[in-house]
Amino acid sequence: MNKRIIKKQTLIFLLIFSLVIIAIVFLSKSNVDYQSQQGLEPSQLTELLEMASKSQPNPDPYISSEVKPSDPLYPGLLAIQLNQTADDLLPLAETRNSDAMYWLASSMSGMELINGEDGALFQQAAELGNPYAAMRLTPILSVSITCNEARLGITICDDEWSEKALKLLKARTEMGDIKSEYYYYKARIALGNYSPSNLKIIDIATRGAKEHYYRPLYDLILHYYIENRSKKVSNENLKATESLIKMMINNNYIPAIRFSRGKRLYTSLSPEWREIVKKKYVELGLHYSLVTEFLDNISDRKASTINLSLIYRNLYILKEVYGIDYYHRLDREIKLFEKDPIRLAAEKEAESIIERIHFPIYIDEQHPPH
């Protein structure tokens, strides 16, 4: 009897031990975004902080855009970014443009299933030399939630694609492509054949910032901020974070602009910088701020506190630019009249704002819209 109990306890122990080992291995491979900057301190960011101290507002709205408006991919990527149909990518994909094929497939699957049609496009793009398509087909590197559920009669997602992904990323890295170098670094960590290094990621982030490629720096700051979120952050650390965020904002990097609207960081910014952020939200095509302001304004049912001019302005921009009609959300306390002087003045102001709106592309192959 005792032997059976001992045997049972031994099996339970072995099972628990195995599960712990599996969990450790899984976490070590899956935590690609945040494991590489443990113990980061402002003293390690000297060159970046020096760059930030000299940063000035950049007049080019597309300075940090993933692709420029002159790029044939731009209309299709903008449609994806705005959650619209990316029909402009079809002609490019038909010419076997691997980038267009990747994004067209990505627009079909989003973050969900890879099915037959988009799976075939990812495979073709990977075979044509697109490293991000090969990553998309590698379960451990893929941004798809269910990469293994491709349905082509064969299993399209397979870790064997990782070798091709690394080879393609390395080739682009050797040609001086900083984005490929960044994802090559992250892919190698995820696959367990490279150790995280503060010096390496800071080096990539610094060189990237010099080229106005801010994803590595943004990820670095995001991790640093999350790491300190539950702690009492020192003034030095907060100032370092603010300084680098401001540099990215000066260069119209949308993820940093969106991040700066977080309550903790936003409240630490000066009133001048808050106004800069709010202005950039509108002028760089971020309608989230308009929606938020609209909903915030009508949440208080006291008509005397409602900024009707701001509501009219935002509603007009949302409808004319984004096709989002929120007029029906106004209740009986807010009367809408076609010839209301406040409405006419607000819409005139909105038209001048619309003329100044630009749409930098801030999504990339590993960060589709969400």
| Section 251-266 average pLDDT | 86
Mean of all residue pLDDT scores within the chain: 80
pLDDT at 142: 86
Residues 280-289, mean pLDDT to the nearest whole number: 80
Flag whether pLDDT at 333 surpasses 80. no
d(CA 322, CA 286): 10
Query: What pLDDT, on the 0 to 100 scale, is given for residue 265?
Result: 77
Average pLDDT over residues 288-307: 61
Nearest C-alpha neighbor of 289 from the set 267, 319, 257: 257
| Three-state secondary structure string covering 286-310 | CHHHHHHHHHHHHHCCCHHHCCHHH
Interacting residues of 39 by C-beta distance below 8 A, sequence separation 6+:
198
Q: Which is higher by pLDDT, 139 or 66?
A: 66
- The pLDDT value recorded for residue 28 is 41
* Confidence band, pLDDT 50/70/90 cuts, at residue 297: low
65 exposed, middle or buried (CB, 10 Å; 0-12, 13-18, 19+)? buried
Residue 118 above 90 pLDDT? Answer: no
pLDDT of res. 240: 86
Q: Is the pLDDT of residue 237 over 60?
A: yes
What are the pLDDT digits (tens) for 92-111?
Answer: 999 999 999 999 998 886 65
pLDDT at 337 over 80: no
> In whole angstroms, what is the distance from residue 60 CA to residue 250 CA?
10
Which pLDDT score, from 0 to 100, does residue 83 have?
83
Is the pLDDT assigned to residue 213 strictly greater than 70?
Answer: yes
Take residue 34 and report the two structure tokens written for it: 């945040």
Number of neighbouring beta carbons within 10 Å of residue 200: 15
Which residue has 């990469």 as its token pair?
A: 147
For the ranges 43-57, 166-180, 346-360, the one whose mean pLDDT is highest: 166-180
Token output for 336 = 């809408």
Question: What number is the average pLDDT over the span 345-351?
Answer: 92
- What pTM value is reported for the model? 0.80
Q: Which two tokens stand for residue 54?
A: 């000299």
Q: What pLDDT is stored for residue 301 in this prediction?
A: 52
Distance CA 54, CA 56 (A): 7
pLDDT of residue 26: 39
Question: With pLDDT > 70 as the criterion, what percentage of the chain qualifies?
Answer: 72
From the number of C-beta atoms within 10 Å of its C-beta (0-12, 13-18, 19+), residue 341 rates as exposed
pLDDT class of 35 with cuts at 50, 70, 90: very low
